[in-house]
Amino acid sequence: MRAWGRAASEAARRRTFAVISHPDAGKSTLTEALALHAHAITSAGAVHGKSGRRGVSSDWMEMEKARGISVTSAVLQFAHRGCVLNLLDTPGHADFSEDTYRVLAAVDCAVMLIDAAKGLEEQTRKLFDVCRHRGIPVITFVNKWDRPGREALELLDEIEREFRLKPAPVTWPVGSAGYLRGLVDVNSPGRMLRYTRAPGGTHEAVEEPIPAEQAAFEEGADWEQATEELQLLQADGAEFDRASFLAGTSTPVFFGAAISNIGVRLLLDAVVDLAPPPGAREVEGGGSRPVDAPFSGLVFKVQANMDPSHRDRIAFLRVCSGVFERGATVTRAASGKPFATKYAHSVFGQDRSMVDTAYPGDVVGLVNATALRVGDTLYDGKPALFPPMPTFAPEHFAVVRPVDIGRSKQFRRGIAQLDEEGVVQVLVSDVRGDQAPVLAAVGPMQFDVVSARMAGEFSAPVRLETLPYRLARATDAAGAEALNRSRLVRGEALTRIRDKALLALFPDRWQTNSFEREFPDARLEPLLAAHE
């Protein structure tokens, strides 16, 4: 088969998706439950790393295991029903919005996880806005139905009201939140699925189909209420429509409990049946690059030291078109220079294996690709350049210095590495020098990651001194000079190392307005906010 034909046929078998949610909604637990039901792992871990339990496969950083949260993205690839699923686990905490945004640039679908008790939360709203902006269709999973929570109809009303998204239930709970008796598969309405969870939720829950007559007899009012609610929803037109789902105006809804593995199989099947395969991707200058074009790929993440025994660096590449072949020489669009793909791995959490070929939708880990940066495009044949990833406006700033001045070389190497990965933005000024760079972050937890990784991976412990700035604006040399001359405003102009952009920092909006009145001709432009 010719390469272009092979790329198209293999792309049709791919489903590349992310799980998004507010912190503590159960995102990493669901990630492992999906891998468990696809038989990619033999037992699931617990997110919180309690005594006697291991961490989830997608959480490899010591800080993640200790705190029970995901602070970096991870990739899991596994097969299910003849399809290859590429699951990109995203950081749940709002402080890591930039990393999540980059991951969403590499997927074709998202599973939006909602806590049954809390409903739509702030980070969920922000991530959904990103999905809508990027045209990513969303599948909804209402989690933790085995615990007390809100009414199912109330949650659907909230989704429709706040997201202007028509919910279309594919499964429906029998019994209220905290008293789950089973699930109705809307596609098989004549039965109820009853679940018996495995001890500790480490294995798949036993799923038993119960005929409608038996369910009505044994569950009584709960079965009657569930069927009445489904009839009400169907009368209201809440039936799944693929065209509106792909257009981003409706969402299929599933109910379950990830930690108990309840309803997870149905969600996994839905990813295969409903999520779109890779398609043509927009390129700079207009137009798009189809999946059967020559090879192209987008670097959406760079991560070092995932495996302490290797101490290497991996650039995560989403294959967008054509066939990736290990050892091939392609072109890096940013420099126009050739790039050899000699060391390419398939990554499953922290584990990895050599990969020889990959297809549109797959994620390849390019090892020790020191020339690559987040947002880079690689291509073969006709040139391609995918749209750049925006840099978010930082809201927290701190001067970072080495605790041991004798470790200055390790300090500089570590800070440069974290900047290239996008863990933080690194700013410098002529006054401070490179021995005391300024770290700029969307959220303060990014500073915790810097401190942990500088000490653990680079053997260069640091101390941080918080600066009183909260607003950053893009400026130019004239604006930076004006800020340094100002007698009314307490601010500072710094250069971002990654792209040499000049930023003007201010303590608050009042100071920013004062500067604009003092220097009306100075250039000040807002940066992309983390919630946009």
Residues at the binding site for GTP are: 89-93
In angstroms, rounded to a whole number, what is the distance separating the alpha carbons of residues 403 and 408? 9
In 7-153, at which residue ranges do the beta strands (DSSP E only) sit?
A: 14-20, 74-80, 83-89, 109-115, 138-143
Contact criterion met (CB below 8 Å) for 222 and 183: no
User: What is the strand order of the sheet 351-354 is part of?
Assistant: 337-340, 329-332, 377-379, 296-304, 313-321, 363-367, 344-348, 351-354
Tokens 């790393």 appear where? Answer: 49
Contact criterion met (CB below 8 Å) for 472 and 505: yes
Nearest C-alpha neighbor of 197 from the set 253, 264, 152, 118: 264
CA distances to 14, 295, 296, 326, 493 from 329, rounded to whole Å, are 24, 11, 12, 9, 41
**How far does Cα 426 stand from its chain's mean position?**
22
Per-residue b or e along 358-371, where b marks 16 or more CB atoms closer than 10 Å to that residue's CB: bbbbbbbbbbebee
Secondary structure of residue 47 in the 3-state scheme: coil
Residues belonging to the binding site are 89-93
In angstroms, rounded to a whole number, what is the distance separating the alpha carbons of residues 176 and 199? 22
In angstroms, rounded to a whole number, what is the distance separating the alpha carbons of residues 255 and 406? 56
Tokens 């406006």 appear where? Answer: 393
C-alpha torsion 27→29→32→36, nearest 10: -130
Could you give the angle at which helices 97-104 and 122-134 cross, rounded to 10 degrees?
30
